[in-house]
Structure 1
Amino acid sequence: MARPTVHDRAVVIRSYDFGEADRVIVLLTRNHGLVRGVAKGVRRAKSRFGSRLQPFVDLDVMLYPGRSLFTITQADTVGYFGAAIIDDYERYAAACAVLETAERLAQAGNDEDPFFYHAIVAALEKLQTGDPNQIVDAFILQALTHSGWAPSLFDCAQCGKPGPHHAFHPAVGGAVCHLCRPPGAAEVDPETLHHLWLIAHGHASSPTPSQAAEAHRLTRAHLQWHVERKVTALYVMDQ
């Protein structure tokens, strides 16, 4: 019995060449999670929709299920965010970090969970004009919270003692008091943790440059501790 064609919204996470003229496109869809689909013939000059299957595009796609990969039979542009991103190094690196983070965290998620699709589109919209580091940090914190790995940013992650606290360690869950502080914990400005709490909950924040830099380091460390893999785009951002 033939399986039904899938109609969904999606963003491209990454792609790689397949065969002589095809390309495998990794999509983060609204209703089917991460999907790997073959776009046939898109490397040819006369491809029908190859130019649309790029990062930073909100797509309406038709997918035909195969044995191990979907086949992408249609792709229409709903929203294009690349104009303000591609030619700006900081925004481009930040947008890539959003996509790579989503792929790492969505792998273990619910296939029918639309959170990551909507969060990516929202982040790409904000990257048109907003501060790249702060947008990425907010995206990571909200994605970690959705995945059950939110860092504690006020109460001690070990004993629950109310903050503010001056130490942070990803292995124990975030902020820690002086009694629970493990070896190797980072000394942090409590206002940095307050800034992270604000952006994690969708509020505006105006950190100092040193607080913003410290917040980015803590967010990156907490993410990579839990995904146990290097998120390459986050290091590109810091170059």
Structure 2
Amino acid sequence: MPLYREVGVVIRTHKLGEADRIVTLLTRGRGLLRAVAKGVRRTSSKFGARLEPFMVADLQCYEGRTLDTITQAETLGAYGPAISSDYDRYRAGNVIVETAERLAEGDPSSELYALLVGALRTLAVGKIPPDLVRDGYLLRAFSLAGWTPGFDECVRCGAAGPHTVVVVQLGGVVCEDCRTPGSPRLDPGSIALLRSLLAGDWDGALASTERERGQAAGIAAAYAQWHLERGLRSFGARRD
């Protein structure tokens, strides 16, 4: 059975038998990968801790008939402990990796992989509020997937902004003539925050108020769930 090397982010794990785990990873070259890590639940395992959620690892695997097997794992980014030890980071991290998994169901994307690693690194460092990291990741990940939101001119008719009414189903802000009934009107600062998050402008994002962050978070969540066509479990998940 041929050996190969790959780098990947651990998305989630499942128990298998008494000592093994099935590990789901987003890899740089193969996209989503589900592989068996044998013996990692034993206390004597040399690399079990390297295959926990939010960790980035350099892997050696061999191909199997149904599932590949991980034979070696070296840590490239030890983000798991810092994220899992903080409740807000943990919730944001779960939304990020679940979104990454859902978007990676097609062909491999090195850009999506790099964006995920960057988001988890920023989350682990802790200098940016977790909700901003999460919302910035959502907007940029969907942009990479081909659904770039528009927060400047009207996304329906192209009328120059500024506009403050957002229609998620149309992909961004609309003018008064294109507004649909029930569409939310945001504060101008919330639209500016959405622009900053989409651009990866953390200085601009950090200048926002709590109200603006709350409005932007609602739009980012609605945008994600609209394009995924079903809700993200992690938005409502709680850790016991």
| TM-score exceeds 0.5 | yes
Deviation digits for residues 191-231 of structure 1 (CA, Å, limit 9, x no counterpart): 21121111211212211110011001100000100011211
Q: Is the 8 A contact 2:57 2:73 kept in 1?
A: yes
Q: What's the RMSD between the two structures over aligned residues?
A: 1.6
Does the 8 Å CA contact 2:52/2:80 hold for their aligned counterparts?
no
Letter in 1 for 2:167: H
Counterpart of 1:216 in structure 2 is 217
Mark the runs of 5 or more structure 1 residues left unpaired by the alignment. Answer: none
Contact 1:97–1:233 (Cα < 8 Å) also in 2:
yes
Tell me how far apart the structure 2 counterparts of residues 196 and 160 of structure 1 sit (CA, whole Å).
18
CA apart distance, 1:236: 4.1
Q: Kindly indicate whether the alpha-carbon contact (under 8 Å) linking 2:13 and 2:22 is maintained by their aligned counterparts in 1.
A: yes
Asked whether the equivalents of residues 28 and 116 of structure 1 are also in contact (C-alpha less than 8 Å), the reply is no
- Paired residue type of 1:69: L
Which residue is 1:114 aligned to?
A: 110
- 2:112–2:144 contact (8 Å) kept in structure 1: no
Alpha-carbon contact 2:97-2:116 (below 8 Å) kept: yes
Matched, 1:126 2:127: no
Structure 2 residue ranges without an equivalent (≥5) = none
2:225 counterpart of 1:231:
no
For 2:114 and 2:49, the matched residues in 1 are separated by: 22
Check the 8 A contact 2:11/2:53 in 1, yes or no. Answer: yes
CA distance in 2, matches of 1:157, 1:68: 45
Separation in structure 1 between the aligned mates of residue 183 and residue 57 of structure 2, nearest angstrom = 43
Deviates more, 1:219-228 or 1:163-172: 163-172
Structure 2 counterpart of 1:40:
38
Residue identity in the other structure for 2:85: D
Residue 139 of structure 2 corresponds to which residue in structure 1? 141
Counterpart Cα distance in 2 of 1:218 and 1:231: 14
SS at match of 1:58: strand
Determine if contact 1:169/1:184 at 8 Å carries over to the other structure.
no
Deviations 1:20-66 (A, max 9, x none): 33211000111111101011222233223222110121101012122
After the TM superposition, list the runs of 4 or more consecutive aligned residues in structure 1 that deviate by more than 4 angstroms.
none
Q: Match of 1:170?
A: 168
Report the equivalent of 1:85: 83
Corresponding residue pairs, total: 233
Equivalent-residue separation in structure 2 for 1:169 and 1:137 (angstroms)? 17
Match status 1:181 vs 2:179: yes
TM-score (norm 1): 0.91
Alignment partners' CA distance in 1, 2:83 and 2:160:
40
Give, in whole Å, the separation in 2 of the partners of 1:6 and 1:156. Answer: 48
CA distance in 1, matches of 2:8, 2:116: 10
Structure 2 counterpart of 1:50: 48
CA contact (8 A) 1:154 1:194 kept: no
- In the other structure, the counterpart of 1:105 is 103
